Amino acid sequence: MSKTNIDEINRNIYDIKNKDEYEFKIKKGLTPEIIEEISKQKNDPDWMKEFRLKALEVYNKLELPTWGPDLSELNMDEISTYVKPQSKLNNSWEEVPEDIKNTFDKLGIPEAEKTSLAGVGAQYDSEVVYHSMKEDLIKQGVIYTDMETAVREYPELVKEHFMKCVPIHDHKFVALHGAVWSGGSFVYVPKNVHVDIPLQSYFRLNSPESGQFEHTLIIVEEGASLHFIEGCSAPKYNKVNLHAGCVELYVKDNAYLRYSTIENWSKNMLNLNTKKAICGKNAQIDWVSGSFGSKISMLYPMSILNGEGAKTEFTGISFAGAGQNLDNGFKVVHNAPNTSSVVNAKSISKNGGKCTYRSLVKINENAKGSKSSVSCESLMLDDKSISDTIPTSDIRTDDVEFSHEAKIGKISDKTIFYLMSRGLSEEDAKAMIVRGFAYPISKELPIEYAVEMNNLINLELEGSIG
Amino acid sequence: MVLGKSTTANAILNNPEYIKTKGTINFEEEDITNMKTDEISRKGIFMSFQLPEEIPGVTVTNFLKYAKNKVTGKPVKIFEFKEELTKYMSELNINSKNMERSLNVGFSGGEKKKNEILQMLILNPKLAILDETDSGLDVDAIKTVSKGIEMFKNENNAILIITHNTKILNSLKVDYVHVLINGKIVKTGNQELAKEIEENGYAVYK
């Protein structure tokens, strides 16, 4: 019987490499001098410069994680942590330099902005090159800007929240982020304002042997709501690139935030990202996450439910091909009565790819009447691929409802035969099964992202029979 | 009438789980013995399954549209398709809500079989092989399935009904009845033969 080889994800669009041109690229490595130089280049206020240097000290003291994927190939002496593109921050695409604009055009960002977004931010290497938001939101007091502008123009808001949700002592890569962070987005939604159309920030890393360390800080005030979308990608190089972003989300009482991510880093990327949300009374944070790229990913968004009745939902999918080790998951801490969490995680692995679902559900003693339900499902497309589930639960009260369900599956020959008897080729059949498996996640994404995700899952016909 | 389970049907469709040691299968003067299943499907052969597979996340409507496109090689005209679908669904007493459910997921035995008949009607093959489509169905469901088969039947197509019991033949007019035992056709007749078997059983042929 002939076996079918399913090709890698078609990455043509993502692999557009522009020339490594920049206005300034910091020399490789991490020293106090390098940090001071970055700070100078960025015109930091003094408090931020001090903060960076302190974070570097913490970074040097902390050890690499002793669990999860092997990170020994990461050598910070080989990474430039700051690459300033040849562009200032613009609020019109016409002013963005041609090759950078072309890249975002091909990624469909300006088009999506016209049709389905209320605001867009676009970062190229270490700096944001484009930011814009609809007029009516500005009038309602919504702030959506790059992080640097926020540090300058809203210092009180930034000081109160910046790296308070994710403190620099959390782990080594958070400390690194604190030292070299650059770019990212700042969003402030005032009390009772509903942003009905999503805002989107797109992060593109073009420069080889470099890192991207964008910082996203979102504050949704009481009774307000927002849908924020984050997209990221990079072309493939032979040497390691590093992404250690940080996302801090404050969802105040009765507020709602939906945070969607489509991550499609290239296969030389180490994606060591940290995301955390703090929820007030009856607030809700929903995460939707698609993780396709990167060589190694360690990504565990976390919801801290501090207010009574707070809720969180996590819906995520990982897709690992040859050479990829995606160690993803979700963490939730129930810190107040009647809080609830729902997790629906899926993974697909093929060609020897490895997907791990690693999670934590912590329900503290005071969180009486809380509910948590976790479901994870993995699909392996061949015998070489690996799927693992490592759930941890720490439940300190009896008055809870908790359930965990895990399923691991393969595509059966019977199912393929059934679909082939309806005219589908073997590749079409597998692609349909995989798309169907991913559907509960893709239906949660904005339509253009659902389409993009289906394209990513598109299993190619070429090079089939072996 | 055929006894011999699904081997014949699966061999025609070239199910890789079945190994053919000798002989050839011709369809419209073309040797299809070793064609891939999807090619055979595109030649116009359809098989309804005893146990249709479940495909989570793919709605019946989307599946039918996709399969029709693959079988015909032409883009599906949405309006025409919808009209056709609505007509067949009402004939087969299929709840329109089922169309937005995942294919066969959580369907009862009867719903799955009716869905197979719906697929046959939509894909409109030249030869439909119905593999024990009537097994496990109650009288009403058998009537509905028979109605679907009657609707499908015309001058230009052929239907091969595989069954152990003659109930479905009471409500269908068939041209030939073949008795297959241990891989050989031991008797061929017309509808009368079905009646004989109903009265006397298969013992006489063994």
CA distance A236 to chain B (A): 32
Q: Is residue A81 part of a domain?
A: yes
Q: Is the pLDDT of residue A466 over 50?
A: no
A426 vs B contacts (CB less than 8 Å): 36, 38
A4 vs B contacts (CB less than 8 Å): none
Q: Is the pLDDT of residue B166 over 90?
A: no
B40 vs A contacts (CB less than 8 Å): 421
Query: Which of A299, A326, A354 delimits the end of a domain?
Result: A299
- 8 A C-beta contact, residue A164 and residue A129: no
Domains and CATH numbers, chain B: 7-205 (3.40.50.300)
Residue identified by tokens 């965990």 is A404
Q: Is residue A166 part of a domain?
A: yes
Looking at per-residue confidence, does A280 or B197 come out higher? A280
Helix locations, chain B, DSSP H = 7-12, 37-43, 60-72, 78-91, 109-123, 139-152, 167-170, 191-200
Contact B53 A418 (CB under 8 A): yes
- For the segment A143-170, the average pLDDT, to the nearest whole number, is 96
Residue A58 pLDDT level (bands cut at 50, 70, 90): very high
Q: Which amino acid is at A466?
A: G
- For the segment A44-48, the average pLDDT, to the nearest whole number, is 96
**Residue A186 token pair:** 């700042």
**Residue B187 token pair:** 């008797």
Query: Which of A299, A334, A357 delimits the end of a domain?
Result: A299
Q: Is residue A451 part of a domain?
A: yes
Q: Is residue A359 part of a domain?
A: no
A412 vs B contacts (CB less than 8 Å): 53
Same-domain status, A284 and A427 = no
Residue of B nearest to A439 (CA): B57
Q: Is residue A442 part of a domain?
A: yes
Secondary structure (DSSP) of A112-124? HHHHH-SEEEEEE
Please report the pLDDT score of residue A42 as a whole number.
93
The values of phi and psi at residue A96, to 5°, are: -75, 135
The C-alpha atoms of residue B124 and residue B106 are separated, in whole angstroms, by 26
A-B C-beta contacts closer than 8 Å: 74
What does the pLDDT look like over A380-416, one tens digit per residue? 988 899 999 999 999 999 999 999 999 988 889 999 9
- For the segment B169-194, the average pLDDT, to the nearest whole number, is 86
A436 touches chain B (CB under 8 A): yes
- 8 A C-beta contact, residue A215 and residue A244: no
A420 vs B contacts (CB less than 8 Å): 36-38, 41
Residue of A nearest to B50 (CA): A418
Instruction: Tell the burial category of A13 from Cβ atoms under 10 Å away from its Cβ (0-12, 13-18, 19+).
Output: middle
Number of domains forming the structure of chain A: 2
Q: Which residues 60-99 on chain B approach chain A with CB closer than 8 angstroms?
A: 63, 66-67, 70-71
Q: Is the pLDDT of residue A1 over 70?
A: no
Please report the pLDDT score of residue A459 as a whole number.
43
**Residue A340 token pair:** 């609830």
Closest in A423, A426, A432 to B41, CB measured: A423
Q: Is the pLDDT of residue B85 over 70?
A: yes
Query: Which of A284, A299, A314 delimits the end of a domain?
Result: A299
- For the segment B154-168, the average pLDDT, to the nearest whole number, is 87
CA distance B73 to chain A (A): 9
CA distance B196 to chain A (A): 34
Percent of chain A whose predicted confidence (pLDDT) is above 90: 66
- 8 A C-beta contact, residue A359 and residue A329: yes
The C-alpha atoms of residue B58 and residue B104 are separated, in whole angstroms, by 10
What does the pLDDT look like over A96-131, one tens digit per residue? 988 888 888 888 888 888 888 889 999 998 889 999
A421 vs B contacts (CB less than 8 Å): 13, 37-38, 40-41, 46-47, 49
B78-91 and B109-123 helices, crossing angle to 10°: 140
Same-domain status, A221 and A94 = yes
Q: Is residue A357 part of a domain?
A: no
A433 touches chain B (CB under 8 A): yes
What does the pLDDT look like over B38-53, one tens digit per residue? 999 999 999 999 999 9
Percent of chain B whose predicted confidence (pLDDT) is above 70: 98
- For the segment A78-86, the average pLDDT, to the nearest whole number, is 91
Q: Is residue A276 part of a domain?
A: yes
Closest in B15, B46, B58 to A436, CB measured: B58
- DSSP label at residue B102: E
Please report the pLDDT score of residue A5 as a whole number.
40
- For the segment A407-435, the average pLDDT, to the nearest whole number, is 92
B38 vs A contacts (CB less than 8 Å): 420-421, 423-426, 428
Contact B55 A415 (CB under 8 A): yes
Q: Is residue A17 part of a domain?
A: no
A425 vs B contacts (CB less than 8 Å): 36, 38, 70
3-class SS shares of chain A: helix, strand, coil, % to 5: 25, 35, 40
Please report the pLDDT score of residue A460 as a whole number.
33
Percent of chain A whose predicted confidence (pLDDT) is above 70: 93
Looking at per-residue confidence, does B193 or A451 come out higher? B193
Contact A418 B16 (CB under 8 A): no
Please report the pLDDT score of residue B163 as a whole number.
85
Residue A341 pLDDT level (bands cut at 50, 70, 90): very high
Please report the pLDDT score of residue A448 as a whole number.
67
- Pick from A245, A251, A243: nearest CA to A185: A245
Please report the pLDDT score of residue B192 as a whole number.
87
CA distance A416 to chain B (A): 9
Which of the given ranges, A450-454, B64-68, B175-179, has the highest pLDDT on average? Answer: B64-68
Same-domain status, A293 and A418 = no
Domain extent for A137: 24-299
Does pTM top 0.90 for this prediction? no
Q: Is the pLDDT of residue A313 over 60?
A: yes
Q: What is the residue-averaged pLDDT of chain B?
A: 90
The C-alpha atoms of residue A453 and residue A240 are separated, in whole angstroms, by 25
Same-domain status, A278 and A134 = yes
Contact B67 A423 (CB under 8 A): yes
A465 touches chain B (CB under 8 A): no
Residue of A nearest to B43 (CA): A423
Residue A457 pLDDT level (bands cut at 50, 70, 90): low
What does the pLDDT look like over A232-273, one tens digit per residue? 888 877 788 999 999 999 999 999 999 999 888 888 899 999
What does the pLDDT look like over A283-303, one tens digit per residue? 999 999 988 889 999 999 999
- 8 A C-beta contact, residue B193 and residue B187: yes
Q: Which amino acid is at A160?
A: E
Q: Is the pLDDT of residue A354 over 60?
A: yes
The C-alpha atoms of residue A94 and residue A56 are separated, in whole angstroms, by 38
Please report the pLDDT score of residue A11 as a whole number.
58
